[in-house]
Structure 1
Amino acid sequence: MNLPFAPAIGKDGVRRLNPARQRHVAPGGGLISFELKPGDRAHILDPEGGQPGLLFLAPTGAGTSCDLPEELKGLASAPGDALPEPARAFLGTDGPGLVLFTEGTAPGAHLHFTATTPLRCVLLAPGGPMDPGAQDAPTDLIVEIEPAAPSSGTVPPPLTEPKLDLRIRAASASAYEVKAGDYIQIIDVDGQQCSDFLAFDAAKLRSGREKGLDPTTTRTLMGSASPGPGLHSKYFDEDQTALVEVIRDTVGRHDTFMLACNAKYYDDMGYPGHDNCTDNFNRALEPYGIAPKMGWPAVNFFYNTFVSPGDRIGMDEPWSRPGDYVLLRALTDLVCASSSCADDIDASNAWHPTDIHVRVYDGANSFSRGIAHRMTPDSAPRLTRETGFHARTSALTRKLVDYRGFWLPDCFSSAGPIAEYWACRERAVVMDLSALRKFEILGPDAERLVQLAVTRDIRKLAVGQVVYTALCYEHGGMLDDGTVFRLAENNFRLVCGDDYCGVWLRELAAEHGFNVHVKSSTDQLHNLALQGPKSRDILRDILTTPAHQPSADELKWFRFTIGKVTTKTGADIPVMVSRTGYTGELGFEIWCHPSRGVELWDALMEAGAPHGLEPLGLLALDMVRIEAGLAFAGYEFCDQTDPFEAGIGFTVPESKQDDFIGKEALARRRAHPSRKLVGLAFESNEPVGHGDPIYNGRAQIGVITSATRSPTLGHIIALARLDVSLAEAGGSIEIGKLDGHAKRITASIVPFPHYDPAKSRVRA
């Protein structure tokens, strides 16, 4: 689709995003508010199609009129009572709006308009909760604002009423005080602008001790190069006192190991006397009695530096976009300083320093924690969200990690990963897998699209059946793996790991002229995996299905059923249940709307208590899936590996006659394989892990894809990708440590799966 959202390719052949554009998302079933200045051009897109849109406009400022942009005249009116109260308060009016899109709108439909007067705007993407057996998920509408001026200097609305609203002009710095518990928001106003941050313990300053943020102490205590939202979120001084913690981060890429720019850097580059952050900090901190430095160790927010090959420090343009921010919380009374980096002689500020904005909010407020994710480089950022089961899982552990944009537990405080592992193998476990991406594929050409997109023969898939498949690029490398559910003749659901699959499917449909909609339903369908030998006994007690749907006892492997889970109070939760899993054990996945997540969790835990049901986290899940030989994205496969090299060649049947993406390349790769996935077994307890090189003598012949210590087998096992000439079972290879040669760990090549290779347990 040739849309205004696409990156531009310049005369120099470099493909660049437009960093001046601001992108906002009205989530399906929700709304977004934004403001426009005269001359600002708004682009509104329905990327998935079929999503109604309602736009409400009001003038900014009392006594001003709302001149309807020419491009919007003639659109049907939307009723004013469709506007929720918070949006009505923002607009200051409850007047009628405009209907932009309808349920019949094609994917990629868009409209544009230019504001002639200052406007407040609200865009709604109306829709209700989706039943697990339905496919009517409301989807996102996107707004992209192209400012009239190249640099608008407009910051996003405050998160709440600020105590301090401080603009730091380009190439300057300011100091400010923050009370313990208050929040500090550092905002990149126009995008691609670095901001150094300093913080000092105010009480220690008053006693004559200057103790500021110390990167070495921070990295040592946090075990990471850059603290982020979650468990390892704090920055410390050299006394090991925590000064601030990161609550939100919409960029996620910063430098925390180099000095703020200083006079020596510019002198050495041939620019003596150039403005620099260190001198600006020295002037800003002088009133607090803080001694000047030749170079300040700082947290360099938005500064894109990295360790490049050859152990050199490299840097490029920042990743930050207009309005991106980091939200910190003060853990003690602080004296802080922030800069807008003055560097205009290289790419660190995209060659053009701009403003930074700082806001301080009262500690009585509460803000969710999150890291921003972008589905594609030009997508709007979306903070880590909570699943429908988060209220229960977060009460059982603090060890939550950001997994594909959701907070999921690594393990639970009551037991730990080893005990969770044994619960899965011997009794039953329940785990939150809601981070899986779901896409509803429906329409007359739904089967044609899925048949083209996946390696399996979808024409053989019956209604009520599920199939595991690969999705490949034309060259045969894998985009993703996933499961396809057939809900009806022309209705499918794809469950996979990557948001981009939805974009890719819509592009395929447009390219081939298919009459089909691909609608994202991830936020409408969350799921728990109930796994283990006792799982059927637990499910039997609470699942009721209609007469025409299989019961828990009747449900066969890779089939699904529609029904209801009955709670202790007698309430019924609509669910879809599939006989699928990621553990190598008998198991089910239970799918519900996230609004019913807590009820479903409670019903399962109550029914499972007599059977020893335990919650299971990601660490234990990794153990059982490696034992079962199950592939994981970024480990067993990527866009440089094909399904055969990932150990899932069975997903590419030779009998499939219809064309599909990558068919020709995969036929060539099947006939001439170069690498093979194998199992490894170790006698040594020396740790090995993903990415470790494998050698035959001096030559590297492969790489470890996944490894774990198997509690059942009593030794370390691994999955590895080897050159086919040396991949036969019974052979011996060596894992290279240190430089690959100074330390070697011997392993034997064995068949995989390591656990239950006949899959008798999962088929039980």
Structure 2
Amino acid sequence: MTLSPPSPRLLLPGLVPREPGLETYWVRPGGVTAVRLAAGDRIDVVDRQGMQPAELTVLGPKRALGVAQDAPATTVRALALREGDGARAVLAVLAEHGVDPSAATAARLFGGRSPAGARESFTAVDAADVLVAAPALPMLVDAEPANPPSDLLLEVRRGAQRPAMEPHLPEPLAEPVLDLRIDAATACSYEVREGQYIQIIDVEGRQCSDFVAFGARQLQDGVERGLDSTTTRYLMGNAYPQPGLFGKFYDQDAQPLVEIVRDTVGRHDTFGLACNPKYYEDMGYPGHVNCTDNFNAQLARYGVAARKGWPALNLFYNTMFDDHNLLVFDEPWSRPGDYVLMRATTDLVCASSACPDDIDPSNAWVPTDVHVRVYDARRKFSMAIAHRVTPESEATLSRETAFNERTSALTRQFVEYRGYWLPSSFDGHGVQEEYWACRERAAVMDLSPLRKFEVLGPDAEALLQATVTRNIRKLSHGQVVYSAMCNETGGMIDDCTIFRLGDTNFRFVGGDEYDGVWLREQAQRLGLDRVWVKHSTDQLHNIAVQGPASRDLLASIVWTPPTQPRFTDLTWFRFAIGRIGDHNGIPLLISRTGYSGELGYELWVHPRDASALWDAVWEAGRPHGLTPLGLEALDVLRIEAGLVFAGYDFCDQTDPFEAGIGFTVPLKTKEDDFVGREALLERKAHPQRTLVGLELAGNEPAQHGDPVHVGRSRVGVVTSATRSPVLRKNIALCRIAVQHAEIDTAVEVGKLDGHGKRIPARVVRFPFYDPDKTRPRS
């Protein structure tokens, strides 16, 4: 009998372990993770990125893991000087075993030249507590090789099958004033005081939780004023508020009730009806328990009138409108432990549900619990959104850059950008003033969210030569090159700049966290086992100083040693390693690069030196009229200069020729193969679309995504657009069919479904501003 192969299993990342009995834990750089092992358990310590030492301390019988602890446990010893719950928890484990932290010892693993993915395995012969530390030293700007500290991964495989455990509830963010479990298919009401924080947690993942709130003072006067969808969407301009400038929910009187502080999910339905009797009756399930009836029962004691269906903030719910404006839904986005953190802006009466819907995907067919915690108003929590670089990755909360202490003193206008908070504009200046400062004098901006990766080792050049479009073999020491990085179909994964610091030392700077993952995957595919791709974003923050006065401004403070070029001799796309002031000053790397179309530089330092660097640049810039620059003004500058932006001007369906950066693909002179080469040869020989500049008639601007027409036919799409202050015209970048790409071709930008209104436009040369790049080259 022939058995058919099993069907592939549905992939639900983050919900189920990949193998029974496997537990995984992270050890962050500079951190310590404690794991309790029983006899027969196996622990694997994995150096994911390579060249990261580990310290293994066994607390218990000396023979438990059979390792010699003959080195000082430097990271554990430093815990006594640190604060926080994590340090106290590890110190408590040491105290339980009677071990003085200052005398702790460890076995040293990895480090030196350990390859990415290096693994050490140990099987416990006795029960023991194991501490694994990842020692971390700051990455020096001028170090060779530059080796940033990185994560370790712990994999624990239990020798004996354990009984099913209760789902792990995340540790409280602080001491809760209310800790409330909402059982599956129920709802609870609770009161919250002004300024307090409400954390709503999806315990097991993929579970919806409806939330309603009313002003408590109004309820006492017999007036219901609750969350109102129309007012909230009108005032915030978003389908659902998120952390940042537009994060409040309002009532019918336009008074804010709650503000979103953190969101680890990022996708919700807002103000759809909570599930109600009619929904289940129409589906053939009369009498089904539902959130609306549960809310009615809970809110009755506050005098809130019952409803047939409650408009609610539907946390974790996954609804959307498709291309045909049909309302559709699928399983929730949330993973186990995901949460939304809100701050009450007035005294509230709230109710939360654990949705009982088990007849469709809204709770993945299995309703589970929801947990609510309320924290004191005196606590402070950072504003954050969570990101995952891959579906299986741990969520990372957005955070501040090292320059935030200085920029936050100049503005409150911050937006979330690629996992960090950056100023969109500066109080007392504004977009127009910031723009003109860069065009006429000098401007400084924080670009720290750029993702940096150290590509190191004998195979470093070979890896980059095989993965980016430029010819890396021609890159000299001290030179930077702008390149595209493509997949097998020729679509762009990202654009990037690559710095050559030495024969085997490169720095890859891109916009996406995934760049490093992809480079490591390609190294493994190609069998390049003598290359390390080390994430260094957290070790290297950077500002850009751009504008015609930037050279004179920086010449007074940048010092370079005789082994490096003089700062004033740096040419376009070159860099030097130097210091601020003199040989005793802050170490930095300074590159003649930028994103403004002007003469300019980028300065790269360790985060601990960020404030001092800003202060030095700020003081030197006073005579030159230096102005801070936000993201909004930068967008105008880069569009004028014809500089492309990921997600707007290109994606993984766009090749470099279509993105307007075909100059980064030297197919004739780069003989070595690279990912996407064959596809790019075909695409170049048979182009279908290209990037052009558009100049629009009149004063109405285009927007990203606007269709571009010739007659009724759609021939292109606007990728980026702005009003150019220096040209006094509305301009746009447009990806267009090659048949309509000639200069002076007349087209129309479609508004109101592309046909209801048209803005005449014509194809023009781009870059719009300084097309020959004379200013950055000057």
TM-score range, shorter chain: over 0.9
Instruction: Tell me the residue number matched to 2:20.
Output: none
How many angstroms does 1:150 deviate by? 6.0
How many angstroms does 1:288 deviate by? 2.0
How many angstroms does 1:52 deviate by? 1.9
Which amino acid in structure 2 is aligned with residue 193 of structure 1? Q
Instruction: Tell me the residue number matched to 1:603.
Output: 616
2:276 to 242, 259, 262: 262
How many angstroms does 1:286 deviate by? 2.3
* 2:521 match: secondary structure: helix
CA 1:286–1:398 in structure 2 vs 1: closer, same or farther (change >3 Å)? Answer: same
Q: Do residues 319 (structure 1) and 330 (structure 2) align?
A: no
Q: How does 1:408-557 map to 2 (within 5 A)?
A: 408-514=422-528, 515-557=530-572
2:133 to 124, 148, 151: 124
Instruction: Tell me the residue number matched to 1:54.
Output: 55
CA-to-aligned-CA distance 1:452-482 (integer Å, 9 cap, x gap): 0110001100000000000000110000001
Percentage of pairs with the same residue: 56
CA-to-aligned-CA distance 1:268-292 (integer Å, 9 cap, x gap): 1111111211111122222222222
Q: Do residues 613 (structure 1) and 622 (structure 2) align?
A: no
- CA distance in 2 between counterparts of 1:80 and 1:125 reads 10
- CA distance in 2 between counterparts of 1:251 and 1:429 reads 36
CA 1:577–1:375 in structure 2 vs 1: closer, same or farther (change >3 Å)? Answer: same
- CA distance in 1 between counterparts of 2:379 and 2:124 reads 35
CA-to-aligned-CA distance 1:494-538 (integer Å, 9 cap, x gap): 000011110111111111111100000000001000000000001
Instruction: Tell me the residue number matched to 2:345.
Output: 331
Contact 1:423 1:612 (C-alpha < 8 Å) held by counterparts: yes
Q: Which segment is superposed worse, 520-529 or 126-135? A: 126-135
CA 1:686–1:143 in structure 2 vs 1: closer, same or farther (change >3 Å)? Answer: farther
How many angstroms does 1:235 deviate by? 0.9
Which amino acid in structure 2 is aligned with residue 47 of structure 1? R
Instruction: Tell me the residue number matched to 1:694.
Output: 708
Q: Do residues 573 (structure 1) and 573 (structure 2) align?
A: no
How many angstroms does 1:139 deviate by? 1.1
* 1:203 match: secondary structure: helix
* 1:536 match: secondary structure: helix
Q: Which segment is superposed worse, 574-583 or 213-222? A: 213-222
- CA distance in 1 between counterparts of 2:229 and 2:127 reads 45
CA 1:11–1:40 in structure 2 vs 1: closer, same or farther (change >3 Å)? Answer: farther
Q: How does 1:212-223 map to 2 (within 5 A)?
A: 212-223=226-237
Q: Do residues 370 (structure 1) and 384 (structure 2) align?
A: yes
Contact 1:260 1:278 (C-alpha < 8 Å) held by counterparts: yes
* 2:770 match: secondary structure: coil
CA 1:37–1:329 in structure 2 vs 1: closer, same or farther (change >3 Å)? Answer: farther
Which amino acid in structure 2 is aligned with residue 106 of structure 1? P
Instruction: Tell me the residue number matched to 1:193.
Output: 207
- CA distance in 2 between counterparts of 1:390 and 1:140 reads 25
How many angstroms does 1:45 deviate by? 3.8
- CA distance in 1 between counterparts of 2:491 and 2:63 reads 47
Instruction: Tell me the residue number matched to 1:93.
Output: 93
- CA distance in 2 between counterparts of 1:115 and 1:242 reads 56
Q: How does 1:366-405 map to 2 (within 5 A)?
A: 366-405=380-419
How many angstroms does 1:234 deviate by? 0.8
- CA distance in 1 between counterparts of 2:292 and 2:378 reads 33
How many angstroms does 1:53 deviate by? 2.6
- CA distance in 1 between counterparts of 2:430 and 2:129 reads 51
Instruction: Tell me the residue number matched to 1:638.
Output: 651
Instruction: Tell me the residue number matched to 1:105.
Output: 114
Name the TM-score, length of structure 1 as normaliser: 0.93
CA-to-aligned-CA distance 1:272-314 (integer Å, 9 cap, x gap): 1112111111222222222221111111111111111211111
Contact 2:14 2:336 (C-alpha < 8 Å) held by counterparts: no
1:138 to 149, 168, 179: 149
Instruction: Tell me the residue number matched to 1:19.
Output: 15
CA-to-aligned-CA distance 1:22-64 (integer Å, 9 cap, x gap): 8764332344567899999977543212212335577xxxxxx
CA 1:437–1:88 in structure 2 vs 1: closer, same or farther (change >3 Å)? Answer: closer
* 1:280 match: secondary structure: helix
* 2:766 match: secondary structure: coil
Contact 2:385 2:397 (C-alpha < 8 Å) held by counterparts: yes
Contact 2:74 2:135 (C-alpha < 8 Å) held by counterparts: no
Contact 1:54 1:98 (C-alpha < 8 Å) held by counterparts: yes
CA-to-aligned-CA distance 1:190-223 (integer Å, 9 cap, x gap): 1111111111111111111121111221111111
CA 1:80–1:74 in structure 2 vs 1: closer, same or farther (change >3 Å)? Answer: closer
CA-to-aligned-CA distance 1:427-460 (integer Å, 9 cap, x gap): 0000100010000001011110010011000110
Which amino acid in structure 1 is aligned with residue 115 of structure 2? A
How many angstroms does 1:129 deviate by? 1.2
Which amino acid in structure 1 is aligned with residue 15 of structure 2? P
How many angstroms does 1:153 deviate by? 2.2
- CA distance in 2 between counterparts of 1:328 and 1:123 reads 35
Q: How does 1:685-724 map to 2 (within 5 A)?
A: 685-724=699-738
Q: CA RMSD in A?
A: 2.5
- CA distance in 2 between counterparts of 1:217 and 1:392 reads 35
Contact 2:478 2:499 (C-alpha < 8 Å) held by counterparts: yes
CA 1:99–1:282 in structure 2 vs 1: closer, same or farther (change >3 Å)? Answer: farther
Aligned length: 746
CA 1:174–1:78 in structure 2 vs 1: closer, same or farther (change >3 Å)? Answer: farther
- CA distance in 2 between counterparts of 1:596 and 1:675 reads 45
CA 1:19–1:35 in structure 2 vs 1: closer, same or farther (change >3 Å)? Answer: farther
Which amino acid in structure 1 is aligned with residue 224 of structure 2? E
Q: Which segment is superposed worse, 322-331 or 609-618? A: 322-331
Instruction: Tell me the residue number matched to 2:247.
Output: 233
Q: Which runs of 5+ in 2 are unaligned?
A: 18-22
- CA distance in 2 between counterparts of 1:301 and 1:401 reads 22
- CA distance in 1 between counterparts of 2:297 and 2:63 reads 48
Contact 1:182 1:363 (C-alpha < 8 Å) held by counterparts: yes
- CA distance in 1 between counterparts of 2:63 and 2:463 reads 39
- CA distance in 2 between counterparts of 1:729 and 1:744 reads 20
Which amino acid in structure 2 is aligned with residue 26 of structure 1? V
